[in-house]
Structure 1
Amino acid sequence: MIKILALGDSYTIGEGVKQSESWPMQLVSQLRKDNLKVDTPQIIAVTGWTTTNLMSAIEKSRLEEQYDLVTLLIGVNDQFQGFSEESYTIGFKKLFVKAIELAGGRPNRVIVISIPDYGVTPFGKRFGSARIRAEIERFNEINNKIAVEKGVRYVNVTEISRRAAEDPTLLASDGLHPSAKMYAEWVELTVPVARSMLEESNN
């Protein structure tokens, strides 16, 4: 069985939607439709987590298993809580190295997902959409650079998240987190990447 580990925060756990509608669960569902034998994903994610919180949780979980695919989406709460770019860089790098380790030391089995732009949501507008957009973009420049330097695949869902400004059906009822519909669009981008990685040899 193919084992997937999803690391993150509210966007990974699927705050505001059914568990089956979270993007890791939808990803597994789509991969199974491609006749891949995929186990239920292990998810380490909690709403509100920063890079520091996630790293602490991973260490406490004492994960010993080698996963076939590890996804990493983290940083929105670092931005929301006012973490500096330097602080986010340090925190993300630690998680990035850990993600590769959990993928059996294989960078070609890790996917980094960009941070969505919640500035377009009703919640985000209260905190200044332009500022949020600029800070999210900078954090995404940081995580993208780290991923690309190691040859790790990067999936950009940020532009999809910004479409919620015109399409409220892309948001959950809380007016902040993505709906199942938006997560499905994330999965459309992620499935081809994940499938190609899983079909590669283990070398």
Structure 2
Amino acid sequence: MTMRWLALGDSYTIGEGVPVAGRWPQQLAALLRARGIALTDPHTIATTGWTTDELDAGIDDAAPRGPFDFVSLLIGVNNQYRARAVDAYAVEFTALLQRALAFAGGNAGRVLVLSIPDWGVTPFAEGRDRAAIARALDDYNRAAEDICNAHGVVFVDITDLSRQHGAEPAMLVDDGLHPSAALYALWAQRALPLAERLLARDA
């Protein structure tokens, strides 16, 4: 039986500026299928610019029908960009994670969260306080990881990859901000062993 994937997020999940096949969820799905895991391409609920509350409303509007065999979540960069408080993010992220768990039939072993990448290293951030952006995103990611740990959900840290490669032209699309398919490929490779382990359970 082919397993169904629900991908929740923002521009980093919808793949702003890249072809559909270049998005990290699509690349990860292809890698998993190559490992023998029968998995559909993700059903995606994501829009560039979405914050946690906007994703929550977007899920309401889309009304996806679960349960899904796999659910991914990557959200928060726009909360940070709009200078929203980490504490408020934590509350809204918790609610979204709980929705993700519900879509996975309550199975925490079928939910995967990616960390927020650091857009402060990109050309788009020229003239901004890059160190302050990094500190804020570290705070956001610590909050998200703690919440994932409390719910037994796997948290994949890809922030270091964004910091290592986020200033390289080949790793960005033309806007100088969003990742290219090449950088998304690194994210997918990072997530692969964890996703494979999750999906191999009771498969």
User: Which category describes the TM-score, using the shorter chain as reference length?
Assistant: over 0.9
Q: CA deviation at 1:127?
A: 2.5
The residue number in structure 2 matching 1:75 is 76
**For 1:118 and 1:126, how far apart are their aligned partners in 2?**
13
Q: CA deviation at 1:40?
A: 2.1
The residue number in structure 2 matching 1:45 is 46
The residue number in structure 2 matching 1:155 is 156
Match runs of 1:2-21 below 5 Å: 2-21=3-22
The residue number in structure 2 matching 1:54 is 55
The residue number in structure 1 matching 2:171 is 170
Q: Which runs of 4+ in 1 moved over 3 A?
A: none
**For 1:86 and 1:166, how far apart are their aligned partners in 2?**
29
**For 1:146 and 1:128, how far apart are their aligned partners in 2?**
28
The residue number in structure 2 matching 1:34 is 35
**For 1:108 and 1:35, how far apart are their aligned partners in 2?**
19
The one-letter code sitting in structure 2 at the alignment partner of 1:10 is: S
The residue number in structure 1 matching 2:104 is 103
**For 1:75 and 1:163, how far apart are their aligned partners in 2?**
20
Q: CA deviation at 1:63?
A: 2.1
Q: CA deviation at 1:165?
A: 5.0
CA deviation digits over 1:48-95, x for unaligned, max 9? 000000001111222221111100000000000111112111110110
Q: CA deviation at 1:16?
A: 1.4
TM-score relative to the length of structure 1: 0.96
The residue number in structure 2 matching 1:132 is 133
The one-letter code sitting in structure 2 at the alignment partner of 1:200 is: R
**Unmatched 5+ residue regions in structure 2?**
none
The one-letter code sitting in structure 2 at the alignment partner of 1:74 is: I
The one-letter code sitting in structure 2 at the alignment partner of 1:28 is: A
The residue number in structure 2 matching 1:86 is 87
**For 2:166 and 2:39, how far apart are their aligned partners in 1?**
34
Q: CA deviation at 1:166?
A: 5.2
Equivalent position SS for 1:16: coil
CA deviation digits over 1:4-38, x for unaligned, max 9? 11100000000011111000110111111112221
Equivalent position SS for 1:38: coil
**For 1:119 and 1:193, how far apart are their aligned partners in 2?**
27
Residues 14 and 46 of structure 2 are in contact (CA less than 8 Å); yes or no, is this contact kept in structure 1? yes
**Unmatched 5+ residue regions in structure 1?**
none
The residue number in structure 2 matching 1:191 is 192
Equivalent position SS for 1:126: coil
Residues 8 and 74 of structure 2 are in contact (CA less than 8 Å); yes or no, is this contact kept in structure 1? yes
1:166–1:59 distance in 2 versus 1, CA, 3 Å? closer
Count of matched residue positions in the alignment of Structure 1 and Structure 2: 202
CA-based RMSD of the aligned residues comes to 1.2
Q: CA deviation at 1:168?
A: 2.5
